[in-house]
């Protein structure tokens, strides 16, 4: 089901078909001075097949060069669309044999890059959509221009609602749609709601504050009710907006910083593990060395004790043997002395 933003963007071109010609003029495809008329025509591009083809809009531009602008609002990439767009061109050319272009309008830069890629059908057959995204849609900051073309002002503000000039371009667009004789009450409310919905909470609060300081005088009941709540927006909106934006940026920041943090943590853990292993290894080596030294010392002490015991035993045995020999010798001599000579 088409989203609110999708339908609102299409409504800008339904309300002012010349907006399509102006975009093509900015792209260098048309000369705006030669355009006489821009008209919304039937958007059904069905050919005699069972498949129905319907673009978001088809605008017939007549003047110096007649041209069909097949409008496609894309809020995100859709591969199926790139298969349908060449069929749109072929079908429209069969209905009106005049130049036709696929005019893609998006508020997302990534979608704009995706849509701008040429669609190659075969050798010599290439379809290249004309794409207007945030980079291609001009930043309209001239009060006179936005006043004369409120739809272009709204489109510019929507395209740049996330950029650094969001508050300024949105303020000019809001001023352009208020009390504008080119718009009825319903269009004023619709465009105002589109502009406010596209802003972040913090940008909306800053915009409201700027409107208040400039004594902005809204004419519609919708905007009057909104401006009435300015104190709440000023006191609470900025803080909530910053918090919301931080919540949006935090996952991206975490995703960017997480690999670094993980690498640093891994390096720290590895360093700690290496230090622990080295300490354990050193402790083991030291324990083994100490055990070896102790074993050697014990063996040496034991050897010394054995040598001393052996020496003592040998000395003791020597003394005993010497005494025995001496006693035997004494007894022999005494025996010889008592034996009478023959």
Domain range annotation of the chain: 4-237, 254-342
Q: Is the pLDDT of residue 205 over 70?
A: yes
pLDDT grade for 19, boundaries at 50, 70 and 90: confident
Helices (H), the chain: 4-15, 18-26, 79-95, 109-116, 143-148, 150-159, 166-177, 185-198, 201-213, 221-228, 230-232, 238-338
Global pTM exceeds 0.85: no
Q: Is the pLDDT of residue 48 over 50?
A: no
Buried (b) or exposed (e) across 199-234, using 16+ Cβ within 10 A?
bbbbbbbbbbbebeeeebebebebbeebeeebeebe
Q: How many residues does the chain have?
A: 342
Closest residue by Cα to residue 23 from 91, 87, 12: 12
Q: Tell me the pLDDT tens digit for each residue of 51-82.
A: 567 888 898 888 778 888 999 999 899 988 88
Q: What is the pLDDT of residue 127?
A: 92
Q: Are 134 and 161 in contact (CB under 8 A)?
A: no
pLDDT grade for 110, boundaries at 50, 70 and 90: very high
Q: What is the pLDDT of residue 51?
A: 52
What span, in angstroms and rounded, lies between the C-alpha atoms of 136 and 130? 10
What integer best gives the mean pLDDT of the chain? 78
Q: What is the pLDDT of residue 289?
A: 79
Q: Are 133 and 106 in contact (CB under 8 A)?
A: yes
Largest Cα span, the chain: 181
Least reliable range by pLDDT among 38-42, 108-112, 222-226: 222-226
Q: Is the pLDDT of residue 96 over 70?
A: yes
Q: Tell me the pLDDT tens digit for each residue of 118-148.
A: 999 888 889 999 999 999 999 999 988 888 8
């Amino acid at each position: 089901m088409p989203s609110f933003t999708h339908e609102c963007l299409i409504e800008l071109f339904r309300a002012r078909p010349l907006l399509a010609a102006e975009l093509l003029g900015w792209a260098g495809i048309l000369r705006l001075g030669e355009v006489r008329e821009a008209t919304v025509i039937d958007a059904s591009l069905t050919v005699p097949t069972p498949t129905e083809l319907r673009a978001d809009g088809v605008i017939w531009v007549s003047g110096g060069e007649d041209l069909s602008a097949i409008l496609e609002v894309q809020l995100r990439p859709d591969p199926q669309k790139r298969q349908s767009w060449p069929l749109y061109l072929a079908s429209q050319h069969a209905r009106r044999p005049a130049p036709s272009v696929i005019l893609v309008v998006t508020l997302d830069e990534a979608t704009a890059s995706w849509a701008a890629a040429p669609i190659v059908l075969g050798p010599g057959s290439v379809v290249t959509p004309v794409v207007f995204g945030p980079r291609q849609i001009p930043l309209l900051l001239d009060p006179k221009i936005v006043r004369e073309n409120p739809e272009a002002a709204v489109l510019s503000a929507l395209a740049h609602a996330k950029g650094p000039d969001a508050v300024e371009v949105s303020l000019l667009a809001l001023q352009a749609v208020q009390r504008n004789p080119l718009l009825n009450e319903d269009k004023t409310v619709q465009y105002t709601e589109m502009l406010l919905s596209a802003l972040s909470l913090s940008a909306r609060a800053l915009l409201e504050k700027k409107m208040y300081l400039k004594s902005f005088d809204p004419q519609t009941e919708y905007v009057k009710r909104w401006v009435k709540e300015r104190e709440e927006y000023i006191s609470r909106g900025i803080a909530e907006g910053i918090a919301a934006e931080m919540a949006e940026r935090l996952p991206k920041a975490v995703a960017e910083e997480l690999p670094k943090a993980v690498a640093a943590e891994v390096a720290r853990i590895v360093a700690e593990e290496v230090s622990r292993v080295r300490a354990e290894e050193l402790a083991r080596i030291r324990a083994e060395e100490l055990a070896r030294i102790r074993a050697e010392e014990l063996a040496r002490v034991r050897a010394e004790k054995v040598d001393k015991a052996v020496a003592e035993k040998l000395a003791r045995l020597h003394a005993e043997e010497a005494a025995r020999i001496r006693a035997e010798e004494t007894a022999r001599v005494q025996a010889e002395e008592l034996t009478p000579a023959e």
